[in-house]
Amino acid sequence: MLSVKNLCKEFKSGEHKVLAVNNLNMEVPDGIFASIIGRSGSGKSTLLSMLGALDKPTSGEIIVDNTDIAKMGDRKLIKYRRDKIGFVFQSYNLVPNLTAIENVMLPMEFAGMNKNAQESRASKLLKSVGLTEDKYLRRPKRLSGGEQQRVAIARALANKPKLILADEPTGNLDSSTGSIIIKLLKNLAKSEGTTIIAVTHDIGIANQAEKTFTLKDGKLTN
């Protein structure tokens, strides 16, 4: 269970203050596929970045595995990001001069896994996201958007995370590829017991989720 209590995030630029997340409370049961919808600027990315420890909340608690990550020190946060979280981005964000398989191996290298183990797990993951083997050694530039997002999902799964956070994962894809990617995410979540929280604009995708949160001005509306 992931639970968020009284979460606030305030951005200051000089005199100007923006309350991007405003006293937000939410609970996400383990192993489900949840979606977050809301208009642009409603605070979805900000919420996601705090769940993934990319940013620190101004106030409030984020309880994962009975620990409040809002109170963690930097070293623990690096480990948390590495071991507990998998990120999937709208623009894939693969490292451009690494091959598909090297991109997937990267988080495992950070975790200190030996090279052979990295390689065999990476190819297993690439296979499970449906990338054909001839593309393992290609650089991102030579992969289609859908293929890059498959690689990104494989990379997110590399260290068997507890939680996958996806920020508009289909935003750059056509709708048929998008629905394939969502199906992939859903299936993996089921088979690996991973919780998935996906931010989306697409009502069709949101409707497939077991739980949907709607954000407006940094607050949940439902």
Partner 1 sequence: MGVFHRGVRNAFRNTVRSASVIFILALSICMALIMFMSLKTVQTKIDSVKSSIGNIVTVSPAGIRGFEGGGQLLTSENVKTVSEINNVTKVVSVLNDRVNNGTDTNLQSAIEAGNFGNRQGNRQFRTNDSSNTAINNSITQRTFTPPIQIVATSDLSNTASLNVAQFEITSGTLFDVNTSDNVALVGKDLATKNSLNVDSTFQAYSKDIKVVGIYDTGNAFTNSSLVVPLVTLQNLSDQSGLISEMVVQTSSIDSVGSVANDIKTALGNSADVVSQQDNSNSAIAPLQNIKTISLYGLIGSLVAGSIIILLTIVMIVRERRQEIGVLKAIGASNALVITQFSVESLVLTLTSSVLGILLGIVLSNPILNVLVNNSTSSTTPSGPGGGGGREFARLGAGIINGSTNSIRNLHNVIGIDIILYGLLAAIAIALIGSAIPSYMIAKVRPAEVLRSE
Considering the rule CB under 6 A, would residue 15 count as an interface residue with ligand ADP?
no
Q: Tell the smallest beta-carbon distance from residue 172 to partner 1 (Å).
A: 9
Helix, strand or coil, per DSSP, at residue 69 = helix
Neighbouring CB atoms inside 10 A of 142's CB total 12
CB 157 within 8 A of CB 164: yes
Nearest to 200 by CA among 174, 222, 177, 171: 171
- CA dist 53 and 62 (Å) reads 10
Pick what 109 binds: partner 1, Mg ion, ligand ADP, none; C-beta below 5 to 8 Å, kind-dependent: partner 1
- Position among 22, 35, 42, 45 found at the interface with Mg ion (CB under 5 A): 45
Nearest to 202 by CA among 168, 176, 177, 156: 168
Question: By CB neighbour count within 10 A (0-12 exposed, 13-18 middle, 19+ buried), where does 191 fall?
Answer: exposed
Q: Tell the smallest beta-carbon distance from residue 45 to partner 1 (Å).
A: 4
CB 84 within 8 A of CB 162: yes
SS3 sequence of 118-166? HHHHHHHHHHHCCCCHHHCCCCHHHCCHHHHHHHHHHHHHCCCCCEEEE
> By C-beta, is 42 or 123 nearer to ligand ADP?
42
> By C-beta, is 2 or 51 nearer to partner 1?
51
Pick what 90 binds: partner 1, Mg ion, ligand ADP, none; C-beta below 5 to 8 Å, kind-dependent: partner 1
Residues near ligand ADP (CB under 6 A), total: 12
DSSP H helical ranges for the chain: 44-51, 74-84, 100-110, 115-128, 145-157, 175-192, 203-208
Q: Contact letters (x/-) for partner 1, 53-92, by CB under 8 A?
A: -xx-------------------x--xx-xxx---x-xxx-
Considering the rule CB under 6 A, would residue 44 count as an interface residue with ligand ADP?
yes
Considering the rule CB under 8 A, would residue 96 count as an interface residue with partner 1?
yes
> By C-beta, is 20 or 184 nearer to ligand ADP?
20
Pick what 13 binds: Mg ion, partner 1, ligand ADP, none; C-beta below 5 to 8 Å, kind-dependent: ligand ADP
Q: Which residues bind Mg ion (CB under 5 A)?
A: 45
Judged by the rule CB under 6 A, the positions of this chain that interact with ligand ADP are 11, 13, 18, 20, 38, 40-46
- Site residues, partner 1 (CB under 8 A): 45, 48-49, 52, 54-55, 75, 78-79, 81-83, 87, 89-91, 93, 95-98, 102, 105-107, 109-111, 115, 155, 159, 167-168, 171
